[in-house]
């Protein structure tokens, strides 16, 4: 069974600070996705990365896929209270969308 | 609103009972996924369907079964329920079920087994 480990489990920061969330595995993934989930709602996709070494930027969010496609990171610059949520990474390793989710990182940004 | 609908929103039942959760995918999406989310296990992939056929299986118990109908809606059947089955159950859909496709999640069904 592949395991996606996310760290840290919980992150509390002040508005304006930067943060990085990590997603690591011993297995290779064909693609990796990052989601944000708010209480009482389903996860919402932020980004999909498919190429080793790929870097994608979404406004203040920067996503990186490791060269070996085993790990990924999410960096948020100048965090805002609206960034509060549970950040989940999900990896797919075969031709169909059988996804393995990490346990998530709970991010709290206080004004 | 993701366009994925799930019913019911909440379900409270007793141990040993059987329940059916229903999901309607986004218009045009052919693939449906089911997930279970609990506090101690996180978000666990259960099963995936594409155009009516099972395509991938995850950590789905034998007491659980699912199907996708010709109109593409899907049902997840949970039987002989145990206390540990209490969780949020999410349905998601995607265009064609491939790994790089975006999955759109429904609002979930919260199941409580007493």
DSSP result, B51-67: TTEEEEE-S--TTEEEE
Give the nearest partner residue to A100 out of B45, B48, B102, using CB atoms. B45
Percent of chain B with pLDDT over 90: 83
Q: Do B26 and B9 touch, CB atoms closer than 8 A?
A: no
CA angle, A24 then A27 then A33, to 5°: 55
Class of residue B75 by CB neighbours under 10 A (exposed 0-12, middle 13-18, buried 19+): middle
Q: Do A70 and A28 touch, CB atoms closer than 8 A?
A: yes
Residue of A nearest to B91 (CA): A42
Average pLDDT for A4-13: 95
| pLDDT given at position B88 | 96
Q: Mean pLDDT in chain A?
A: 92
Which has the minimum average pLDDT: A8-17, A29-38, B35-44? B35-44
Q: pLDDT band at A95, cuts 50/70/90? A: low
| pLDDT given at position A89 | 95
Tell me how close the Cα of A98 comes to any Cα of chain B, in angstroms.
6
Please list every residue in chain B whose beta carbon sits closer than 8 Å to the beta carbon of residue A92.
Answer: 99-100
Q: Which helix (H) or strand (E) element contains residue A50?
A: none
Average pLDDT for B25-31: 96
Give the nearest partner residue to B42 out of A41, A45, A104, using CB atoms. A104
Q: Which parts of B1-114 are beta strand (E)? A: 5-7, 10-13, 19-24, 31-38, 42-50, 53-57, 64-68, 74-78, 87-94, 104-105, 109-113
Task: For residue A43, give Cα distances in angstroms to A10, A27, A89, B49, B85.
Answer: 17, 23, 10, 19, 20
| CB proximity A98 to B under 8 Å | yes
- Is the model more confident about A18 or about B100? A18
Taking an 8 Å cut-off on Cβ atoms, the answer to whether A48 and B42 are in contact is no
| CB proximity A85 to B under 8 Å | no
Q: Do A87 and B31 touch, CB atoms closer than 8 A?
A: no
Q: Mean pLDDT in chain B?
A: 94
| CB proximity A33 to B under 8 Å | yes
Average pLDDT for B53-80: 95
Q: pLDDT band at B59, cuts 50/70/90? A: confident
* Contacting residues for B40 by C-beta, under 8 A, at least 6 apart: none
Average pLDDT for B65-85: 97
Q: Do A22 and A6 touch, CB atoms closer than 8 A?
A: yes
| pLDDT given at position B8 | 97
Which has the minimum average pLDDT: A9-18, A88-97, B105-114? A88-97
| pLDDT given at position A12 | 97
Q: pLDDT band at B113, cuts 50/70/90? A: very high
Please list every residue in chain B whose beta carbon sits closer than 8 Å to the beta carbon of residue A44.
Answer: 2, 105
| pLDDT given at position A78 | 97
For residue B13 the two structure tokens come to: 């039942």
Q: Cis peptide before A8, with omega less than 30 degrees from 0? A: yes
| Best of B29, B99, B109 to mutate (most A CBs within 10 Å, chain A) | B99
- Above 70 in pLDDT, residue A1? no
Task: For residue B61, give Cα distances in angstroms to A4, A97, B58.
Answer: 21, 19, 9
């Amino acid at each position: 069974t592949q395991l996606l480990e996310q760290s840290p489990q919980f992150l509390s920061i002040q508005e304006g600070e930067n943060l990085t969330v990590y997603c690591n595995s011993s297995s290779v993934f064909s693609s990796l996705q990052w989601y944000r989930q708010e209480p009482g709602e389903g996860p919402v996709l932020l980004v999909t990365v498919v190429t080793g070494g790929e870097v994608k930027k979404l406004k203040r969010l920067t996503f990186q896929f490791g060269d070996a496609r085993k790990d990924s990171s999410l960096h948020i610059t100048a965090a805002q209270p609206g960034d509060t949520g549970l950040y989940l990474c999900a990896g797919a390793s075969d031709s169909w969308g059988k996804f393995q989710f990490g346990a998530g990182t709970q991010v709290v940004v206080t004004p | 609103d993701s366009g994925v609908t799930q019913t019911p929103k909440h379900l409270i039942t007793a141990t040993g009972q059987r329940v059916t959760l229903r999901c309607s995918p986004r218009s045009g999406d052919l693939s449906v996924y089911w997930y279970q989310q609990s506090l101690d296990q996180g978000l666990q992939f259960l099963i995936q369907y594409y155009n009516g056929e099972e395509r991938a299986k995850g950590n789905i118990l034998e007491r659980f079964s699912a199907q996708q109908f010709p109109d593409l809606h899907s049902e997840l059947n949970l039987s002989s329920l145990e206390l540990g089955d209490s969780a949020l159950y999410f349905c998601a859909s995607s265009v064609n079920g491939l790994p790089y496709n975006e999955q759109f999640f429904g609002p979930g069904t919260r199941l409580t087994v007493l």
